[in-house]
Amino acid sequence: MQESAVDVLIVGAGPAGLMCANALSRAGVRVRIVDKRASAIRAGHADGIHSRTVEIIQSYGLAQNLVDTSAHLHRAAFYKPGSAGGIERARRMKGFVSPNSRYSFTCTLHQGFIENTFISDMKTRGLAVDRPTIPTSIQVAACTEKGMANADGVDAHPVKVVLEHLDESQDTCPSEVVHAKFVLGADGAHSWVRKAMGIEMKGDVTDHIWGVVDIHPDTDYPDVRNFSIIQSNKGSALLIPRERDLLRLYIQLSHADLINPENGRVDKSLTSPQKIIDMAQEILKPYYIESTGDVEWWTVYAIGQRVAAKYCVDRRVFIAGDACHTHSPKAGQGMNASMLDSHNLAWKLTYVLRGWADLSLLDTYEVERRKFAVDLIEFEHKWASMIMEKGGSPGGDEKLYEMFESNADFLSGVGLCYQPSTIVNDRYQASAPGLVVGAYVPPHIFLRAADANPINFQDMHPADMRFKIVVFAGDIKDAKVAECIQTLAEQLDAPDSFLKRYGQGGWESVFDLICISASSKDGVDYTDFPKLFRKHWSKVYLDDTDMLGNLGGGGFARFGIDPEAGAIAVVRPDGHVGLVAPCDRMDAVEAYFGGFMRTNCTA
Amino acid sequence: MQESAVDVLIVGAGPAGLMCANALSRAGVRVRIVDKRASAIRAGHADGIHSRTVEIIQSYGLAQNLVDTSAHLHRAAFYKPGSAGGIERARRMKGFVSPNSRYSFTCTLHQGFIENTFISDMKTRGLAVDRPTIPTSIQVAACTEKGMANADGVDAHPVKVVLEHLDESQDTCPSEVVHAKFVLGADGAHSWVRKAMGIEMKGDVTDHIWGVVDIHPDTDYPDVRNFSIIQSNKGSALLIPRERDLLRLYIQLSHADLINPENGRVDKSLTSPQKIIDMAQEILKPYYIESTGDVEWWTVYAIGQRVAAKYCVDRRVFIAGDACHTHSPKAGQGMNASMLDSHNLAWKLTYVLRGWADLSLLDTYEVERRKFAVDLIEFEHKWASMIMEKGGSPGGDEKLYEMFESNADFLSGVGLCYQPSTIVNDRYQASAPGLVVGAYVPPHIFLRAADANPINFQDMHPADMRFKIVVFAGDIKDAKVAECIQTLAEQLDAPDSFLKRYGQGGWESVFDLICISASSKDGVDYTDFPKLFRKHWSKVYLDDTDMLGNLGGGGFARFGIDPEAGAIAVVRPDGHVGLVAPCDRMDAVEAYFGGFMRTNCTA
């Protein structure tokens, strides 16, 4: 059998697997990705990308096409049984959107488009999905040996996977052996990798059954272009307006109708898209709804709300996405959570593979992402049961609307905040209370000192695998502040500074240094700042408005930073704030990196 | 010789020619475009796209890549001779930007990128530039015959052009004859077409000589990323920051140094990029400036400020761009004016070719675009002489800054407004004083009724060759307004309405109907509006804020429209407002189209 070695083998080319493969390939990691499907999907499947996820996709420079092509949900409509028998609108409000989002909408379009965004980007670096291919065996060799579990073993390839190529028309050998340093199982709710590693799923064992159709509707339903939650006496439905005037209908189906009595499993052949549309028509009365042209995609599926007992085995085999957590579609979080899983993992794998960080850094993946999944499933459980109530309980409606409205940060992803750990240190949170340690960097406009371009704070944090060191300083026209900035530059430039000690092979490959000053644009030039802070002219920013006075300003106030005292923020390669500290606590920054970084490159 | 027929033959594939070729190919017009250069340009040449031009490129859906790739000028810096001998900064202010622009900056990048934007778009419809190819003869047959000069002759191909293919390695016949309905000469300042048609250039005969280099600078000049106008005792310079950290230097050179005494013409070999950079270094003292790496592009050119005596011969041969008007680079208008020329012409040619409009429509091209060129040259003449003064005259500096600041609308293109004509009727301007008849539609956010998406008014006016009929109506919850809207819908839908009479082969191919209501988003559905106003769910808008209250609202007030009375706006296919009228003056709308449209399709 053919044998080969690779840094990371990814099983499954859905959103979780592709986000990871693409991120790793950008970092120059040797990666392979295999998928059991013979071709990429072209319609249907998951379809909602919330605003925080769009921000993260934009950190890879890949959001524009998605934003341009998708439908944008700004509004949600709630319907309940009306007095005349049919449904009537109970409430309309903003959608899954937080005022703290950069994108004030949810993007909806079929999962294949999002996957293709990553596939196209990977392709520019020569990486393609190997398909149809499945793993047939996986062994983590000598996991119990000390060398494999710590950083000294980073060059070993302890995971042996046998792959089988399913396309018989190909000339390739049907089976091969891949020796991988790490394996990621992103192979869906029925994950082979998860099962092979003996990881259990925990949670709700009652599977709900959903019928889903993507249609081009003919309808007089007035909220057909808003996200709708419909509770009727005939059942409940979710409607999601989509790209190219498509409409997705989610209809909860009765268990009894769809179980094959012979084997007790869901049998798709017991229903049809027309039957699902007919049920939607019943629910939507007095409005009519019909499908024009072909149904673009449909399915029936049973899903429980479950989370994997662990996300990692022996620091070598990981799982992500639906392999870790399964959801009802009601809060539209599945694909978002999946991509964020592997966005969280990719930089950690890269740092360990480059010999820059200890293997122990990988433990934070499960800590951060499993906690989120548990919270999400708890939310969804509550949410789903409220929707199912059909407006039955007194005041139930109001509770539903209030829950939707008050959880905007959670639903849009803006609320995601990782707990304190080696890489999340909130000890000095008070130095910048508005820049929440553990959370993703918020959108805010600062002015680039050299050219007065208004630049979003998030765009200073591209997913380029570097830690961003953001120095917030006062007005450099103030002599005391200028001296302070000068001292800071000297400290950072000293041979024993963390920049130099952890900056393997040139600090600019590990760190990006950004200076944001409370100076006004009128009297200040970027050349007024120490050279260390302007390795490139674009690295100095001001907390001021743009030339027309429309954008920017108020950043120090928003982040709660005292311009006199200043602050230093350490932002992780995934855009989450790792640390904030007063400018005079460089020791805290040193200690932060000391907790997981390696000072020399022996790997 | 090979002979062929084509609707429009375009000579010259610069910004003017390509804008036209692309627009015509989108409209399905049979078009050919030839250029004498063997390949597209890859660096240098014109480099500034002002905000209104970006808006117009966006009306073709083509601005995003340009915006993402270009440098953005937000700020201008003025330098004058300082007391210490070198230069010192006199003033910094906003750049070529009007508060009324959608894009609050000028985009700078090399002309080839912009050309390639059109070339790539054309390619998707199978149209490529035929190169290197030149015309060697042009004849307008029987122009004096009545049939050729009026609409009955639209199917004739009266212009005979002989083309010569210069690439001898090609298998094609070296010469061919093309019979065209129309010819556009977009072949630059030395236009062959213009000369062949005997059109004179009028204006300043004193040619100024400019040295231009595109470099990657090493400098401590603090405004290197701002547009700079530098007046020093050693001469004047313009600095333009560009894409990929490039910097363009414009240095005015002495006539005497560059004239070859033997033939009296500018001789590029008498200077070099290094000599131009050396002169820049002299001007920029006390700052240093050097070029790192290779000079990306350079040239020396002599240019007068001139305008063609006419833009059109016999309604069959047109000229556009530098063929019509030449400028100094000081106001950075050349490429912008060129693209706007042919954007103005393209829809008129299309309407005549489709048999929808009289040939006389074409006369408005010269009327509208030549007036603009004359105004521009007048402005540039004044502007250039102010810059040349080197701060000499008392108060001259202040006048320069004030002129730059007070002409922001002109410089950004926002001020462009065509004079009254057959297609610009300002009789009822009072019904919507803020929607200026003759001007391009302004940016403003309205809320799409069906899905609460905030949509820019400009995006309701894509360059799709249709007239937009925009009905501004009051609050449809008001019974009187509702009745009024209903009446209007019935009038428009009547068999003898202008929609039907001029809507050749289905009114939706000629007209787009948009309704903007002063209703609030809370109580109104798009389905509340008459069906005629919602041929598609996206056609009904509200003058209200978005779901987060950040965008939109105040549109009626801004446009000066009384919600009680309402208004109808007719927007031309090029996005310029052709007419505004009170809702009850449908006769004015009828008369507008009656002035140039044909009621039946005999062509």
Domains along the sequence of chain B with CATH: 2-70+109-204+306-384 (3.50.50.60), 208-303 (3.30.9.10), 429-594 (3.40.30.20)
Amino acid in position A600: N
**Distance between CA B47 and CA B70 in Å, rounded?**
9
- How far is the C-alpha of B477 from the C-alpha of B482, rounded, in Å? 7
Q: Which residues pair with A139 in a beta bridge?
A: A160
Q: Which residue of A has its CA nearest to B536?
A: A245
pLDDT at residue number A393: 63
More confident residue, B403 or A448: A448
pLDDT tens by residue, B503-539: 987 899 999 999 999 999 998 999 999 999 999 999 9
Tell me, what's the pLDDT at A572? 98
Q: What digits encode the pLDDT tens for the residues B477-510?
A: 999 999 999 999 999 999 999 999 999 878 999 9
Produce one character per residue of B137-153: b if its CB has 16 or more CB atoms within 10 Å, e if not: ebebeeeeeeebbebeb
The pair of three-digit structure tokens given for residue A74, joined into one six-digit string: 């700004």
Q: Do A93 and B548 touch (CB under 8 A)?
A: no
Query: Hey, are the CB atoms on B453 and A550 less than 8 Å from each other?
Result: no
User: pLDDT tens, A119-163?
Assistant: 999 999 999 999 999 999 999 986 544 444 444 566 789 999 999
Mean pLDDT for B28-43 is 94
Q: Do A223 and B75 touch (CB under 8 A)?
A: no
Across B210-224, average pLDDT: 96
B interface test, pick of A64, A67, A72, A75 with most B CB neighbours within 10 Å: A75
Is the dihedral angle over the CA atoms B594, B600, B601, B602 positive or is it negative? negative
Does A94 sit within 8 Å of B548, measured CB to CB?
A: yes
| B462-469 mean pLDDT | 98
Q: What share of chain B is helix, strand, coil (3-state, %, to 5)?
A: 35, 30, 40
Contact B291, B216 (CB under 8 A): yes
Tell me which of A244-248, B161-165, B400-404 is least confident.
B400-404
> What does each C-alpha distance from B135 to B33, B111, B185, B191, B194 come to in angstroms?
11, 24, 10, 11, 12
pLDDT band at B255 (very low <50, low <70, confident <90, very high): confident
Percent of chain B with pLDDT over 70: 95
Written as one string, the DSSP assignment of B115-138 is HHHHHHHHHTTT---B-SEEEEEE
Query: Do the Cβ atoms of B104 and A548 come within 8 Å?
Result: yes
How far from the centroid of its chain's Cα atoms is residue B85's Cα? 42
Residue A218's CB: how many other CB atoms inside 10 A?
12
B338 pLDDT higher than 80: yes
The pLDDT assigned to A255 comes to 76
At A193, phi and psi to the nearest 5?
-60, -45
- The Cα–Cα gap between B448 and B372 comes to 35
Q: Between chains, do B547 and A97 touch, taking CB under 8 Å as contact?
A: yes
Q: At residue B283, what is the residue type? A: I
State the pLDDT confidence band at B148, using cuts at 50, 70 and 90. very low
Residues in B whose CB is inside 8 Å of some CB of A read: 64, 68, 71-75, 92-95, 97, 99, 104-105, 220, 222-226, 241, 245, 450-454, 522, 525-528, 537, 546-548, 550
Among A105, A223, A526, the residue with its CB nearest the CB of B222 is A526
In this complex, do A105 and B220 lie within 8 Å of one another by their Cβ atoms?
A: no
The three state secondary structure string of A232-248 is: ECCEEEEEEECHHHCEE
Mean pLDDT over the full length of chain B: 92
Would you state the pLDDT for residue A144? 46
**Taking CB atoms and an 8 Å cutoff, what residues of chain B touch A289?**
none
Q: Which two tokens stand for residue B396?
A: 């001259």
Is the confidence at residue B95, as pLDDT, over 50?
Answer: yes
Taking contacts as CB-CB distances below 8 angstroms, the residues of chain A near B226 are 450-452
Rg of chain B over Cα atoms, rounded to whole angstroms, equals 26
Nearest neighbour of A451 by CB, restricted to B74, B452, B546? B74
Chain B: closest CA distance from residue A333 (Å): 21
Q: What is the mean pLDDT of residues B348-362?
A: 95
| Contact indicator for B34, B163 with CB cutoff of 8 Å | yes
**A-B interface: how many C-beta pairs under 8 angstroms?**
89
The number of helices, as runs of H, and strands, as runs of E, in chain A is 16, 28
% pLDDT > 90, chain B: 78
pLDDT band at B600 (very low <50, low <70, confident <90, very high): low
Which of A32-46, B222-236, B250-264 bottoms out in mean pLDDT, i.e. has the lowest? B250-264
Scanning the structure block, which residue is given the tokens 């909860």? A252
**Whole-angstrom distance, CA of residue B97 vs CA of residue B469:** 29
The pair of three-digit structure tokens given for residue B454, joined into one six-digit string: 């905030």
**pLDDT tens digits, B286-318:** 999 999 999 999 999 887 889 999 999 999 999
Model ipTM over 0.95: no
Q: Which residues of chain A have pLDDT under 50?
A: 144-151, 601-603
State the helix-helix crossing angle for A15-26 and A111-123, rounded to 10 degrees.
20
Q: How confident is the model at residue B142 (pLDDT cuts 50, 70, 90)?
A: low
pLDDT of amino acid B210: 85
Largest CA distance in chain A: 83
The pTM (predicted TM-score) of the whole model is 0.94
